Amino acid sequence: MNPDQTLTVERVKHYLSITEKARGKATPLASTPEQELMLNTLLSMADDYAHDAQYFLKQGDLIRAFGAINYAHAWIDAGVKLRLLDGHGDDVLFTLP
């Protein structure tokens, strides 16, 4: 098995930290009540999946933890792509519009 393809606690923690960094860096751009509602939904989903990832990691379920943290990051990234969040030009953490 290729060591670069092995799912480890360290690898999951690495992606958790990347997503935490993205969550902290992205700032709201929503300018209407409708956009704020959409943004709140996106961020709530991101936070819920990040919480799930932590839970699965504590349970030793690396596959579900890895999946959950990727979903969390995708919700944040979607907010940037939809211009509800400002990614501040960071094309490493985000898929920029």
pLDDT tens digits for 2-22?
666 789 999 999 999 999 999
Would you place residue 1 in the very low, low, confident or very high pLDDT band (cuts 50, 70, 90)? low
Can you give the residue range of the structural domain that contains 53? 9-86
pLDDT tens digits for 36-61?
999 999 999 999 999 999 999 999 99
Q: Is residue 50 part of a domain?
A: yes
Q: Is residue 64 part of a domain?
A: yes
Q: What pLDDT was estimated at residue 39?
A: 97
Q: Is residue 24 part of a domain?
A: yes
Residue 81: CATH number of its domain: 1.20.1270.90
Q: Is residue 20 part of a domain?
A: yes
Our count of domains for the chain comes to: 1
Q: What pLDDT was estimated at residue 32?
A: 96
Query: Which of 13-16's residues contact partners 24+ apart within 8 Å by CB, and which partners?
Result: 13/57, 15/66, 15/69, 15/70, 15/73, 16/50, 16/53, 16/54, 16/57, 16/69
Q: Is residue 93 part of a domain?
A: no
Q: Is residue 94 part of a domain?
A: no
